[in-house]
Amino acid sequence: MSTVKGVAPPIEKYDGSSLRVLIVHARWNITVVDALIKGAIDTMTNEYSVKSENITIQSVSGSYELPFATQRLIAASRLQATPNAAELFSSTPAGEQTGPPPVNTQTFDVAICIGVLIKGSTMHFEYIADAVSNGIMRVGLDSGIPCVFGILTCLNDDQALERAGLGSSDKKHNHGIDWGHCAVELAVKNRGWMAGKI
Ligand SMILES: Nc1c(NC[C@H](O)[C@H](O)[C@H](O)CO)[nH]c(=O)[nH]c1=O
Ligand SMILES: CC(=O)[C@@H](O)COP(=O)(O)O
């Protein structure tokens, strides 16, 4: 029997040709992470014309580091985009502001945080999964830049491989593809929302 699980295809054909995308990934479980990154990038470039030169890729050691690194990279990009950005935020240090930027200080339209957690013998997995999911949500809401939750939380190696399209079953599926679709849709919609369009 086929499954009811999964995301419906996007309603529109979004144009990603001017989007700027930040990918921040962990290097833990890198074989799986690499496949997920490839799935996301191929989807964005092949299906939405996102330019590869507009995709910035940065890595950190583990998934726990993803929210912090993403927050700092967004802050750094704003400083780069507007030389006097620090002054625009005046009393608050760069990176600690909440809400959308005041003017034209955004270099990334969307961030995708990619990591793979595989449960071991201790509670390590549970703590990291909880912290990372909350952290990524917080960075998105605080910065006003959508942050895609590209984290696999797997109970064993096989679950991780299947969800990166590397497994041996006929149900294997690369979730990086879904994250690519999700990133473009949210980035394009958010540009409209920021301009007051509903
Ligand atoms: N066990 C996994 C980790 N653990 C490392 C942490 O994310 C972190 O780097 C460390 O605690 C230092 O702060 N990371 C993953 O991405 N995946 C795992 O399965
Ligand atoms: C703190 C660690 O990285 C490690 O002890 C976690 O162990 P496990 O992955 O078996 O839960």
Query: ipTM of the predicted structure?
Result: 0.97
The CB of 122 under 6 Å from ligand 2? The reply is yes
Q: What is the pLDDT of residue 102?
A: 46
Residue 7 domain flag? no
Residue 184 domain flag? yes
Residue 87 domain flag? no
Q: What is the pTM of this model?
A: 0.89
Catalytic residues: 124
Alpha carbons 69 and 40: distance in angstroms, whole number: 19
pLDDT digits (tens, 9 = 90+) for 150-185: 999 999 999 999 999 999 998 899 999 999 999 999
Alpha carbons 83 and 176: distance in angstroms, whole number: 34
Print the domain residue range for 125.
21-81+104-195
Helices (H), 9-152: 30-48, 66-81, 85-88, 124-143
Model confidence at 194, pLDDT cuts 50, 70, 90, reads very high
Lay out the sheet containing 55-60: strands in order across.
55-60, 21-26, 110-118, 147-154
Share of the chain above pLDDT 70, in %: 86
Ligand 2 atom nearest to 123, measured from its CA: 11
Alpha carbons 148 and 180: distance in angstroms, whole number: 9
Mean pLDDT, rounded, of the chain = 90
- What CATH number should be reported for the domain holding residue 73? 3.40.50.960
pLDDT digits (tens, 9 = 90+) for 50-108: 999 999 999 999 999 999 999 999 999 988 876 555 554 445 555 665 655 444 446 89
The CB of 128 under 6 Å from ligand 1? The reply is yes
Residue 4 domain flag? no
Residue 86 domain flag? no
Q: Ligand 1 mean position to 64 CA, how many Å?
A: 6
Q: What is the pLDDT of residue 92?
A: 55
Residue 10 domain flag? no
**Which residue has a Cα nearest atom 4 of ligand 1?**
62
Residue 28 domain flag? yes
**Which residue has a Cα nearest atom 17 of ligand 1?**
117
Ligand 1 atom nearest to 64, measured from its CA: 7
Residue 9 domain flag? no
| 95 phi, psi to nearest 5 deg | 95, -15
Rounded alpha-carbon distances, angstroms, from residue 26 to 89, 108, 132: 30, 19, 12
**Number of domains present in the structure of the chain:** 1
